[in-house]
Homo-oligomer: A and B are copies of this chain.
């Protein structure tokens, strides 16, 4: 008699553009790697720009409540084609993606940057790139606070308010220190405290305070502008970067670019208190220009699925996926279809 396999109940949101294609491959790999060890239940949700065009819904309350009942969410990408004027600009991003991150309290937006052997970097001499960015996910300039006075007149004033709380900053800083303590023991705070004094000092003071709990972790500080320079001249200097929501958005796209492009960049939106499901998504968008042609690289989606496995405690399964991806990348020779990449990695982990 064997134990019943562990049941894992996933929500899958393929989304728009290349989202469905890359998500299908991530699901394929999840099924292959978990095999008989896990009873994998998948529930697909139709959400995103296409869904909005068809129904006028972004993320209805009922859907959000159903999403809350799952163990985790696997997400592809959402977004209309840039020229599509039927969809108000930024609507899906805010009312679907950011609403999910905020509602499910995804306070750790985790993005690894690793230059895999065999992957070309745009940098002439990239060195070893292997760091993680812990981006705050529920505060900062992303809260939608702000407004417009006298809109459309020559007297218009538009404001954006960055909101930062001790609660929000401390929990993400502590998470980043914990990650650094099991990596190379180095944490870099990225901010701009010489200009953004109030938020900057909260972040700085919090890092100093939490550092006392992690004597094994060295920490330093970079202004965001200086961080730009180091990310292209010496990315090897980074181990764990912790930063706010907007700086994290900027830093992680640059980090993805220098480490081989957003076709490989995975991300996790983590609720580390586990009061709601975490969400796993490639950093790339819906890329409508190449959608439906089976030419998108599903690797970022597959690596995001590995982060999902890790978050659910399936560390050995996650490691198998990551090793298979690494081997697949190293063996790359020419262009392969989206499904071919997924098939190869699925076969390797079965």
Name A residues whose Cβ lies closer than 8 Å to a Cβ of B.
Answer: 89-90, 93-94, 98, 120-125, 141-142, 144, 146-148, 152-167, 170, 192-202, 205, 224-226, 228-229, 231-233, 246, 249-250, 252-254, 256-258, 261-262
Q: How many copies does the complex hold?
A: 2
Instruction: Given A225-B253, A250-B228, A250-B250, verify A158-B198 contact (CB < 8 Å).
Output: yes
Q: Is B144 touching A197 in the complex (CB atoms < 8 A)? A: yes
Q: Is A254 touching B253 in the complex (CB atoms < 8 A)? A: no
Q: A159-B199, A250-B250 known; 16 other A-B pairs, CB under 8 Å?
A: A90-B194, A90-B195, A93-B194, A94-B195, A120-B124, A141-B195, A141-B196, A146-B196, A148-B198, A157-B165, A158-B202, A159-B163, A159-B198, A160-B196, A161-B162, A195-B249
Q: A228: nearest residue on chain B (CB-CB)?
A: B254
Partner of A225, one of B124, B232, B250: B250
Q: Is A162 touching B164 in the complex (CB atoms < 8 A)? A: no
18 A-B interface contacts by CB (under 8 A): A89-B193, A90-B194, A90-B197, A93-B195, A122-B232, A123-B232, A142-B195, A153-B166, A156-B166, A156-B202, A157-B164, A157-B166, A160-B161, A160-B196, A228-B250, A231-B254, A232-B257, A254-B254
- In the complex the two chains form, what is the Cα distance from A165 to B149 in whole Å? 9
Q: Is A98 touching B159 in the complex (CB atoms < 8 A)? A: no
- In the complex the two chains form, what is the Cα distance from A123 to B122 in whole Å? 6
A189 to chain B, nearest CB (A): 13
Give me the 6 closest cross-chain CB pairs, A-B, nearest first: A90-B194, A156-B166, A225-B253, A228-B254, A158-B198, A160-B162
Q: A146: nearest residue on chain B (CB-CB)?
A: B198
Q: A256: nearest residue on chain B (CB-CB)?
A: B229
